[in-house]
Amino acid sequence: MSVAQTVLKDTFGYDAFRGQQQAVIDSVIAGADALVIMPTGGGKSLCYQIPSLVREGCGVVISPLIALMQDQVDALKELGIRAGFLNSTQAAADSYAIENALVTGELDLLYIAPERLSQPRTVNLLQQARISLFAIDEAHCVSQWGHDFRADYLRLHHLAEAFPSVPRMALTATADARTQQEIIERLCIQQAKAFVAGFDRPNICYQIELKQQPKQQLLRFIKERHSEDSGIVYCLSRKKTEDIAAWLTAQGFTALPYHAGMPYETRALHQQRFLREEKVIIVATIAFGMGIDKPDVRFVAHLDLPKSIEAYYQETGRAGRDAEPANAWMVYGLEDVIKLREMMGSAVGGTEEKNEFKRVEHQKLESMLGLCEITSCRRHALLHYFGDESPAQCGNCDMCKNPAETWDGTEASQKAISCAYRTDQRFGVNHLIDVLSGANTEKIKQFAHQKLSVYGIGKELNKVQWRSVYRQLIARNFLQVDFANFNRILLTENCRPILKGEASIELRKDVVQKTALRKSSANTKAILDQHKTDLWELLRECRLDLAQAKGVPPYVVFHDSVLMQMVEELPSSIAHFSRLSGVGQKKCDQYASAFIAVIQEYADKKKNSIMTSGELSPTVDETYRLISSGETPEAIATQRQLALSTIYTHISQLIRFSKVELSDVVKLTQSELHQIEGVFVECGLMDEMAKLKPAYDGLAEAYSYSVLRCVHADFVRRL
């Protein structure tokens, strides 16, 4: 077994590398530069973390995600990795401590913002230390044509001059061929080996609906498929994020707005709540999401059209990082096309560079519109855009599950184009539809449009259908909108063959009320049968307890996939627990006893147990011995080097078997006890197998699961 494989198993708890991970890692360990394109959730971070641990010195990770650095570092420390960060949010004393650790060789990984590397002091600091590699994360930010351009990334080419012998890696999930070349040139990594792992996210189901009543459509989508899940809703404007968040809250969801115009403290709080709590929906502008490492985001919804396929791919990619089923849902309509094109403005009238930028922007929008209007597999079209080959049908998008109907729209298109032409290209869509429909409006009378040959020739279609025709013609660039002149509709050169009858056109039939897709099992709980759901909930409660005690998000303790393995395998020993995928040595030492105790307690409670119930396990018996000798739970946790929540899980078992009195270990007033027990009664938590989440929520999270577990054990014992 290689050194890299040993680190993979002992530190990260995985038996084997995925995809091109090993090839990347071996290349960088050997000292080569690398360009790494991997989809979100594909394991990019391991590609620089493991070489940083294997090579001599400290790996420097350059990331624009200042607000997330603390969580990233906390997660690494949980694995036993010596990690730190330097950014503008730190106190001077904390920065000094990290700088000292770097210079004295006491750091494995250092996270740093790109703007800090433009400071000579920072470069001098790094030159005093032994640097094992530079990992430039979110490398697509260097692209001036991209949706996430950061000017500070342009200065990172200086690393080649200042640290000529240190390997440099550029990593991103989102880069087409043009962006990849730009990354190589601007970061001066011409000798880098490129590792392109593909762009497919097979666990994500893509769905795009016609925008009709967007708020109600969003509500239906969440209620039907994600009522118990965390998700992200993207909106184009700051005001809309606040309006939608307030509206979802009124519908009974925990929804928080996030945009760049909010105070930093509020943004940070909302981000932390999203990361650390369950069933939180964040409603955000594109200011939110890059680098978010929350693995159990089950859906990403768009209420407005993204500006490019790159933006759409990256934003939807924040769902399902744990490889479990997830949904990418969007509503789209004519107003999106008009709004985005208006925001982009004209492609002419500036410098040559600005004009080229505008042209690229418009090309990217055209590709995005094409994805929305397509009648074949969306995943195939999405991957084709990035140069990835894939089957013609994926089976996991709306077009594959509910194929769109098309119709010969040639005659209707000729009428729509002719109407714009006959009215001198001076009017918007609504007026043109009135003319085609033969409406009797004041505006038609004012301009005598009732006398035109096109007046009333479109009565075979209703106004909604004509709006669909115009939307598709604009999306395909047969017509365009003149934003500077009241959104009047203009003809393009592309429409000439259709108007002259030299070409035909197929249009899609819009479904007024989309038939729901087959209900997706886009949450981990749905994958479990009812027999195992109770244990799943208990393990989640245990994880939340441990996470709160550590001050980290629950997924930093263990991902849902690890909890699922516990449910399936029911590990009853440390040795068995250590073999679970995703359980490294340090996490096994820290947490195995707590989860094994929960599994043991569950098995003991359950009639016809799935495990043999009987005497207390040796670890619970040891806690009993120490409690009996007068030790406090805190002292026992310290002495045994176990989490406090683990000790309280042991104690709840001892209380249930009448070996320990509740009052000896949990100090609550009679009033508090009555309040807690009253909530147990209100929530119907009257048996040993009851899930305590309703009580935890009902008591406004005032008491930890550890305390509630002990009180509940005593409560049920006395029934």
479 & 535 share domain: no
- The answer to whether residue 274 sits within a structural domain is yes
Q: Return the number of other C-beta atoms located less than 10 Å from residue 106's C-beta.
A: 13
Q: What is 297-327 written as a DSSP string?
A: EEEEEESS--SSHHHHHHHHTTS-TTSS-EE
CA distances to 202, 232, 288 from 277, rounded to whole Å, are: 26, 14, 17
Q: In the predicted model, is pLDDT for residue 85 greater than 60?
A: yes
Going from the C-alpha of 92 to that of each of 139, 387, 410, the distances in angstroms are 29, 47, 69
Same domain, 552 and 696: yes
Q: Domains in the chain: how many in total? A: 4
Can you tell me the mean pLDDT for 188-201?
91
What is the predicted pLDDT for the residue at 240?
95
pLDDT at 423: 96
Residues forming beta bridges with residue 83, ordered by sequence position: 109
Confidence of residue 289 (pLDDT cuts 50, 70, 90): confident
* 3-state class (DSSP) for residue 219: helix
Exposed, middle or buried by CB within 10 Å (0-12, 13-18, 19+), for 355? middle
Q: Is residue 276 part of a domain?
A: yes
For residue 194, give the 3-state DSSP assignment.
strand
The band of 520, judged by pLDDT with boundaries at 50, 70 and 90, is very low
Q: In the prediction, which pLDDT does 323 show?
A: 84
> What local confidence, expressed as pLDDT, does residue 515 receive?
40
Residue 29: CB partners within 8 Å, gap ≥ 6? 4, 51, 54, 55
Model pLDDT, residue 80: 93
Could you tell me if 135 and 167 lie in one domain? Answer: yes
Task: From 699, 701, 710, select the one nearest 665 (Cα to Cα).
Answer: 710
For residue 613, what pLDDT is reported? 41
Q: Is the pLDDT of residue 341 over 50?
A: yes
β-bridge mates for residue 34, sequence order: 169, 193
pLDDT winner (highest mean) among 147-151, 411-415, 501-505, 522-526: 411-415
Q: What is the mean pLDDT of residues 315-333?
A: 92
For the residues 174-179, what does the mean pLDDT come to? 83
617 and 675 together in one domain:
yes
Asked whether the predicted pLDDT for residue 532 surpasses 80, the reply is: no
Would you state the pLDDT for residue 380? 92
Domain that holds residue 566: 528-718
The Cα angle at residue 311 between residues 309 and 317, in degrees rounded to 5:
100
The verdict on residue 337 lying in a domain is: yes
Looking at residue 525, its pLDDT comes to 53
- Residue 609: pLDDT over 60: no
Sign of CA dihedral 70, 72, 77, 78: positive
Q: What is the 3-state secondary structure (H, E, C) of 658-713?
A: CCCCHHHHCCCCHHHHHHHHHHHHHCCCCCCCCCCHHHHHHCCCCCCHHHHHHHHH
State the pLDDT confidence band at 417, using cuts at 50, 70 and 90: very high
The mean per-residue pLDDT over the stretch 193-211 comes to 92
- Greater confidence (367 vs 6) lies with 6
Q: What is the mean pLDDT of residues 595-613?
A: 68
Four-CA torsion 8, 326, 197, 170, nearest 10 degrees = -80
Average the pLDDT over 379-391 and give the result. 88
Token code pair at residue 354: 């600005």
Residues in the chain: 719
> What mean pLDDT value characterizes the chain?
87
**What does the pLDDT look like over 225-271, one tens digit per residue?**
999 899 999 998 899 999 999 999 999 999 999 998 999 899 989 99
- Write the DSSP string, 350-412: S-HHHHHHHHHHHHHHHHHHHHHH-SS-HHHHHHHHTT----S--SSBHHHHSPPPEEE-HHH
- What pLDDT was estimated at residue 528? 55
Which neighbouring-strand residues pair with 329?
207, 301
Which CATH number is 128's domain given? 3.40.50.300
Percent of the chain with pLDDT over 90: 49
Which of 273, 310, 90 is closest to 179 using CA atoms? 310
Across 212-226, 288-302, 588-602, which has the greatest mean pLDDT? 212-226
Is 483 inside any structural domain? yes
| d(C-alpha 662, C-alpha 681), whole Å | 19
- Res. 331 pLDDT band, cuts 50 70 90: very high
The yes-or-no verdict on residue 340 having pLDDT over 70 is yes
Question: How high is the pLDDT of residue 686?
Answer: 81
pLDDT for position 361: 78
Chain-centre distance for alpha carbon 308: 18
Domain boundary among 196, 217, 251: 196
Q: Return the minimum-mean-pLDDT range out of 96-110, 267-281, 409-423, 643-657.
A: 643-657
Asked if pLDDT for residue 500 goes beyond 80, the answer is yes
**Is the alpha carbon torsion for 333, 335, 337, 339 positive or negative?**
negative
- Residue 451 in domain: yes
CA atoms within 13 A on the CB side of 625: 9
268 inside domain: yes
Which residue among 370, 401, 432 closes a domain?
401
Q: Is 622 exposed, middle or buried (0-12, 13-18, 19+ CB in 10 A)?
A: middle
Q: How far is CA 536 from CA 450, 478, 539, 639, 644, in A?
A: 68, 54, 5, 29, 21
Among 95, 120, 128, 109, smallest CA distance to 55 is for 109
* 387 and 433, same domain (yes or no): no
**Nearest-angstrom CA–CA distance, 589 and 576:** 13
Residue 422 has pLDDT above 90, yes or no: yes
One domain for residues 425 and 378: no
Is 523 within a domain? Answer: no
Residues 387 and 276 in one domain: yes
Per-residue pLDDT band for 356 (boundaries 50, 70, 90) equals confident
Helix (H, G, I), strand (E, B) or coil at 636: helix
91, 216: one domain:
no
* Residue 229 falls inside a structural domain: yes
Residue 220's pLDDT is 95
In sequence order, the 6+-apart residues with CB closer than 8 A to the CB of 223 are none
Is residue 312 domain-shared with residue 390, that is, in the same domain?
Answer: yes
Res 533: pLDDT: 81
Task: Give the 3-state secondary structure of residue 233.
Answer: strand
Q: pLDDT tens digit string along 673-697?
A: 989 988 998 888 887 777 788 888 8
Strands (E), 445-600: 479-482, 488-491, 506-508
pLDDT of residue 39: 87
- The answer to whether residue 568 scores a pLDDT higher than 80 is yes
Distance CA 36, CA 40 (A): 12
Single out the residue in 140, 166, 196 at which a domain terminates.
Answer: 196
- Bridge-based pairing of strands 131-136 and 168-172 is parallel
Let me know whether 395 and 300 are in one domain.
Answer: yes
Provide the strand spans (E) within 121-245. 131-136, 168-172, 193-196, 204-210, 230-234
Residues 429 and 381 in one domain: no
Specify burial of residue 407 (Cβ count, 10 A radius: 0-12, 13-18, 19+): exposed
Nearest to 7, CA basis, from 20, 30, 26, 27: 26
250 and 178 in a single domain? The answer is no
Angle at 26 between CA 124 and CA 390, to 5 degrees: 115
* Band (517; pLDDT cuts 50, 70, 90): very low
- pLDDT category at 32 given cuts 50, 70, 90 is very high
Helix %, strand %, coil % for the chain, to 5? 50, 10, 35
Q: What is the CATH number of the domain that holds 452?
A: 1.10.10.10
Task: Pick the range with the lowest mean pLDDT from 487-491, 520-524, 596-600, 708-712.
Answer: 520-524
Q: Average the pLDDT over 641-661 and give the result.
A: 86
What is the pTM for the complete model shown?
0.73
pLDDT at 165 over 90: yes
Positions of E strands within 516-638: none
